[in-house]
């Protein structure tokens, strides 16, 4: 038996291994080359502005945002049983998805708002605040009405402005640098404002709406130069009645009417005073479309008045309410972290003479003409981007024409000539 030394053993093993691996190497050389798959990373989208990022595997850019708002409000009560204090917590979550196509930008926007209220704030809500698709010049879905201009952006309480989200089908044409025109078909059902008269004895009957046949038609002309923007808007709406004519019940109905509203507004940036300073002014007139002026049912301390776009008088005629409103707001930055808004609005509602009944005691019933004016200011601290803490005071006065009964009850209500209220709010808000 032959003994193999260490060096010989190593040579022998090396030969064996070489003999075994050479065929494997040759086999491996015949296999297809293996390539590394590219990793599809999330990328920043600069085309659509800050905060957008790409969805991996698509050409769509996405931005996720939202808001949290906390408020506490004091509202002067009209009686002992009414809450003077209210609290609110409101959360908003929104998604903005944009894709560039050969026909223009394709955009989808969704926003939900969830509100928890107590006291004088009213009911809790869970609402689809926005949900629309834009494709080039076309917009379809739920968004801000094309009639609206200033929409309570810098005041906490409500001024007499149209600030309304609704369902739209709109087309926008670019007419020149900064100039555009839009035609929007908008849901008129949410905008309808038909109420019963104040108190008994109304010389006619409340308006009973028939089924809708036409949407509200809104036209907008918008100019956005470097110094701000200016806008003219108008709306035409159909008002169909289900009230039978008194002289021929069940055989004819009160005539269909057409209401309208027009509005003009201007925003001026004033950086000469301070960076971010701006002035807003707008005014509007309506006949049969009070919500387009920002009017609702009037409730101040112990005055509560129902308002309506239209009523049917004692002669079977549909009478449209007339109204106008004007609003002004100035926003000033004392420092980059301290800003103040001062604002006011004034409005008038005028019904036909046969819409009001005056009792022997001098009280007005039915639909009562009135004026409404509001003035206030707020001060906010902005310690970080998208975050502020603010306080606001708002004074409101309602003057009905003549005197009205508290509670709209001639038997038990005392007569009131006018009423006012004071409102104060503390707000903490973060947008992201």
On the question of pLDDT at 27 being above 60, the answer is no
List all residues 6 or more positions away from 162 whose beta carbon is below 8 Å from its beta carbon.
Answer: 145, 147, 148, 149, 151, 263, 284, 291, 292, 293, 294
Quick: pLDDT tens for 227-254. Answer: 999 999 999 999 999 988 865 555 688 8
Burial category of 367 from C-beta neighbours within 10 Å (exposed 0-12, middle 13-18, buried 19 and up):
buried
**37-46, 213-222, 273-282, 347-356 — which is least confidently predicted?**
37-46
Which pLDDT score, from 0 to 100, does residue 415 have?
84
Which pLDDT score, from 0 to 100, does residue 201 have?
79
Band (pLDDT 50/70/90 cuts) for residue 22 is very low
Q: What is the pTM of this model?
A: 0.87
Quick: pLDDT tens for 352-386. Answer: 777 888 888 888 888 889 999 999 999 999 999 99
Which pLDDT score, from 0 to 100, does residue 47 have?
85
**Class of domain 137-431 as given by CATH:** mainly beta
Which pLDDT score, from 0 to 100, does residue 253 have?
86
Top pLDDT among 198 and 267 is at: 267
On the question of pLDDT at 188 being above 50, the answer is yes
- Continuous segment of H or E residues that includes residue 104: strand 104-119
On the question of pLDDT at 217 being above 90, the answer is yes
Angle 166-171-174 (CA atoms, 0-180°, nearest 5)? 130
Closest alpha carbon to 62 in 81, 85, 74, 45: 45
Q: What is the Cα–Cα distance from 158 to 405, expressed in whole angstroms?
A: 26
Which pLDDT score, from 0 to 100, does residue 4 have?
44
pLDDT over 90 percentage in the chain:
66
Q: Is 140 left (phi over 0), alpha (psi -120 to 50) or beta?
A: beta
Top pLDDT among 411 and 29 is at: 411
Which pLDDT score, from 0 to 100, does residue 303 have?
78
Tokens found for residue 231: 């806008």
- Average the pLDDT over 171-175 and give the result: 97
Buried b / exposed e across 391-421, counting CB within 10 Å, b at 16+? ebbbebebbbebbbbbbbebeeeeebeebeb
Quick: pLDDT tens for 122-148. Answer: 899 999 999 999 999 999 999 999 999
């Amino acid at each position: 038996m032959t003994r193999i030394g260490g060096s010989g053993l190593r040579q022998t093993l090396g030969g064996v291994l070489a003999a075994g691996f050479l065929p494997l190497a040759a086999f491996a050389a015949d296999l297809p080359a293996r390539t590394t798959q590219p990793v599809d990373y999330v990328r920043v989208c600069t085309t659509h502005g800050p905060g957008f990022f790409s969805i991996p595997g698509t050409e769509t850019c996405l931005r996720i945002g939202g808001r949290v708002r906390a408020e506490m409000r004091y509202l002067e009560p009209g009686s002992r049983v009414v809450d003077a204090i209210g609290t609110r917590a409101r959360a908003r979550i929104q998604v903005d998805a944009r894709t560039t196509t050969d026909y223009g930008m394709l955009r989808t926007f969704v926003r939900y708002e969830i509100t928890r209220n107590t006291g004088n704030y009213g009911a809790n809500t869970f609402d689809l605040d926005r949900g629309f698709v834009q494709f080039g010049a076309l917009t379809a879905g739920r968004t801000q009405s094309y009639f609206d201009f200033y929409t309570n952006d810098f005041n906490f309480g409500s001024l007499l402005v149209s600030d309304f989200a609704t369902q739209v089908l709109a087309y926008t044409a670019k007419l020149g640098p900064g100039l555009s025109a839009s035609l929007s078909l908008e849901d008129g059902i949410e905008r309808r404002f038909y109420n019963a008269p104040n108190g008994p004895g109304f010389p006619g009957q409340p308006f009973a709406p028939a089924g809708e046949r036409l949407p509200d038609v809104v036209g907008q002309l918008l100019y956005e130069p470097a110094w701000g923007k200016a806008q003219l808007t108008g709306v035409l709406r159909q008002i169909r009645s289900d009230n039978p004519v008194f002289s021929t019940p069940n055989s004819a109905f009160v005539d269909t009417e057409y209401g309208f509203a027009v509005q003009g507004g201007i925003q001026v940036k004033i950086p000469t005073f301070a960076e971010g300073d701006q002035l807003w002014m707008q005014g509007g007139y309506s006949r049969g479309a009070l919500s387009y002026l920002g009017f609702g049912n009037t409730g101040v301390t112990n005055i509560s008045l129902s308002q309506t776009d239209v009523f049917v008088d004692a002669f079977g005629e549909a009478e449209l309410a007339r109204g106008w409103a004007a609003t002004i707001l100035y926003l000033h930055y004392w420092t980059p972290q301290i800003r103040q808004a001062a604002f006011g609005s004034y409005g008038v509602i005028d019904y036909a003479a046969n819409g009001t009944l005056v009792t022997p005691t001098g009280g007005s019933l039915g639909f009562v003409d009135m004026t409404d004016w509001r003035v206030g200011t707020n001060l906010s601290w902005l310690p970080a981007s998208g975050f502020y803490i603010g306080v606001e005071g708002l004074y409101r006065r309602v003057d009905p024409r003549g005197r009205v009964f508290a509670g709209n009850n001639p038997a038990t209500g005392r007569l009131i000539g006018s009423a006012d209220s004071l409102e104060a709010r503390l707000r903490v808000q973060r947008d992201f």
